[in-house]
Amino acid sequence: MELAKAVPSTWCPGCGDFGVLASLKKAVVELKIPAHEFVLVGGIGCSGGIHNFLELNGLHALHGRLLPQAVGVKLANPQLTVVAAGGDGDGYAIGMGHFMHAFKKNASFLYLVMNNETYGLTKGQASPTSRIGFEGNVEHPFDAILTALSIPTPAFIARTFSGDPKTMTAVLVEALQHNRANRGYAFIEDLSPCVTYNDTFKEWREKVVDVSKLTGYDPTDRQVMFRLCLETMQAGKIPIGVMHRPNPEAAAGMALETKLLPDLIGPARASMSLTENRAAYEKLLAAVS
């Protein structure tokens, strides 16, 4: 497998998801992750098709069900680097229950949401992040970063913008390092405009604010970051950057795979040797005879 191989894409020219694809490739190359040790679980939507445009192991999950599948892949073989990727509709509507539980479970994989404030694949209906007035939407938009910050687990949390792929690559590298050190879950929401049904590139470029430049920035303190993000939003801006960078000592030993599989050998790599497993087989035989 060759990650850098160009695979034809079905995305519209200029789609924000191209920025994610390019940054993800760069991050994987920078971390020297062998393609056979990398698995991408895609959701349903334009964004969820990202694994089709990379030469690597991938699977297309059911709509809104990519997170349990990513947890399953990680537990089957914790040596793998696992990324789940999908859209705001996939993750924050039909997948909302799993969105919350992924923080609680805290398995070491990255969930990357490409938020374009619409259902792109089904031609531009309102999604949970759509603003009031978009396609007749009368509901308040959901904010994933504020929600993530309100769940007290050692997750890495960040928001990036497809218009700034350099920063996105750096944030992806940091998130994947967090996962690869078995420090638990990482969540990144990328602002990824749908140029066909909701072209927000220009507006977002003007509105994004790098939280690390704000007075009092402290990504180890959720309360501080919640307040900074809320204040930025109340000022009509969009906070981006690393919102929660857990203390490595606090995160150590807290990941799901380290709790369930202390030796980090999952069923996919378990020894099948009769000699090694003799005692277990004899116990089984005794139980059935």
Ligand X SMILES: Cc1ncc(C[n+]2csc(CCOP(=O)(O)OP(=O)(O)O)c2C)c(N)n1
Q: Which chain residues interact with ligand SF4 by CB under 6 A? A: 11-12, 15, 17, 46, 116, 120-121, 194-197
Query: Could you tell me the sign of the dihedral formed by the alpha carbons of 60, 63, 64, 69, in that order?
Result: negative
Q: Residue 80 in contact with residue 38, Cβ under 8 Å? A: yes
Q: Examine residue 200 and tell whether it contacts ligand X (CB under 6 A).
A: no
For 118-155, give one letter per residue: b (16+ CB within 10 A) or e.
bbbbeebebbbbbeeebeebeeebbbbbebbbebebbb
Q: Listing from the earlier edge strand, what are the strands of the sheet with 208-210?
A: 57-60, 38-42, 81-87, 110-115, 186-191, 156-161, 238-244, 208-210
The interface region with Mg ion, picked from 7-15, 93-101, 120-128, 239-247 by CB under 5 A, is: 120-128
Least distance from C-beta 155 to Mg ion, angstroms?
Answer: 22
Residue partners of 269: CB distance under 8 A and separation at least 6: 77, 79
Residue 3 or 195 with smaller CB distance to ligand SF4? 195
Closest distance between ligand X and the C-beta of residue 194, in Å? 6
User: In terms of CB distance, is 89 or 154 closer to ligand SF4?
Assistant: 89
Binding residues among 104-123 for ligand X as defined by CB under 6 A? 114, 116, 118-122
Stretch touching ligand X by CB under 6 A, among 2-10, 84-92, 96-104, 164-172: 84-92
- Binding region for ligand X (CB under 6 A): 44-47, 63, 86-90, 114, 116, 118-122, 127, 194
- Binding region for Mg ion (CB under 5 A): 87-89, 116, 120
